[in-house]
Amino acid sequence: MVTKLSTTFFIFLLVGISVVGSSANGQSVSSSAPMADFAQNLTVGLRGDDVSALQHFLITYGYLRLLSPTGYFGPLTRVALGAWQASVGISPAVGYFGPISRREMNVFFHQARMDNIVVVSSTVATTTTTMNAATAATTTTVPTTSTPVTNNENGSPARLIVPTLNIDAGFQYTGLKPDGTMEVPSTIYVVGWYTGSVRPGEKGVSIVTGHVAQIRGGVVTKPGVFSNLYEIKVGDKLQVVNDRGETINFVVREVRSYDPTADATDVFTSTDGGAHLNLITCEGMWIPSQVSYTERLVVFADLQ
């Protein structure tokens, strides 16, 4: 059983995934994103530091399934680059790193340098029976346990696909920082699997979070991976591709909005012995003074 203190955990978790890149409160933390400035086009067959930097980015955000950059632009890099291009609206998404892709990625790195990434998260303690939330904290430059997707072949998630919403996103693995605070995705383009929950497809509840928008100075500048999650309907299909190459199918059972003070125990637990996938993001009105939204959106899905 999860105590009602999970309500506080729910509040602060969703504050964290509401906003990336906001400077509303004047606080910031460093991003784990690799930094680079790309001055040349890249394509299959090329080698060099720019290729390594591109691969570092694609590995970090779950598009390229390599343990480390190789410096060689091969077919795997082309496919991974095409997936990233599709996720940010670059068309055609053919895996050629030309002027449009270079500009988009250079803008991302420039914004990360200038604004960094604001992450508001909660201090949590986890046991087999309880998840207790403590104080909210805006962290500074603390090393984190967030890791890119690697091919461990243990059933961990690699991609989330929601066909009806045109979502095809890579995963970051988010856990607890050394100071005990919980992580959220460090970019608007990927989703986060909380490693304190079960792997998708296992019995229990697998928790996946994602940003609804990038907000700078109180203004939405880019849509997040879950910007259109509110459009999902009961009966829609979700797919998780794991690091074994297996596709795990889920079907949406319920879509529910929560008040930030609501008891969220049922979001993080189940007692029916089934396998569940719950997607979490924010919705409603943006409240600058609270650096958060007025409501929380949760999609409940069951293993098909």
Tens digit of pLDDT for each residue in 64-93?
A: 877 778 889 999 999 989 988 888 888 888
Residue 68 has what pLDDT? 75
- On whether both 184 and 243 belong to a single domain, the answer is yes
Q: Is 88 helix (H, G, I), strand (E, B) or coil?
A: coil
Please, which residues have CB within 8 angstroms of residue 271's CB and are 6 or more apart in sequence? none
pLDDT higher than threshold 80 for residue 97: yes
| Predicted confidence band of residue 10 (pLDDT cuts 50, 70, 90) | low
Please report whether residue 16 resides in a domain. Answer: no
- On whether both 187 and 274 belong to a single domain, the answer is yes
Q: Is 57 helix (H, G, I), strand (E, B) or coil?
A: helix
- On whether both 110 and 243 belong to a single domain, the answer is no
Residue 109 has what pLDDT? 65
- On whether both 107 and 166 belong to a single domain, the answer is no
Average pLDDT over residues 27-49: 67
| Angle (deg, nearest 10), helices 75-87 and 49-60 | 60
- On whether both 173 and 55 belong to a single domain, the answer is no
Average pLDDT over residues 191-209: 93
Residue 161 has what pLDDT? 95
Residue 26 has what pLDDT? 28
Q: How far is CA 71 from CA 21, 49, 134, 209, in A?
A: 30, 6, 44, 31
Under a CB-based contact definition with an 8 Å cutoff, are residues 257 and 296 in contact?
A: yes
- On whether both 72 and 171 belong to a single domain, the answer is no
The count of structural domains within the chain is 2
- On whether both 148 and 280 belong to a single domain, the answer is yes
Please report whether residue 64 resides in a domain. Answer: yes
Q: How far is CA 86 from CA 93, 101, 166, 286, in A?
A: 5, 11, 10, 27
* CATH number, residue 92: 1.10.101
Please report whether residue 26 resides in a domain. Answer: no
Domain that holds residue 259: 142-303
Q: Tokens for 54, please give them.
A: 């591109």
Q: What percent of the chain has pLDDT over 90?
A: 29
CA angle 80, 83, 84 (to 5 degrees): 90
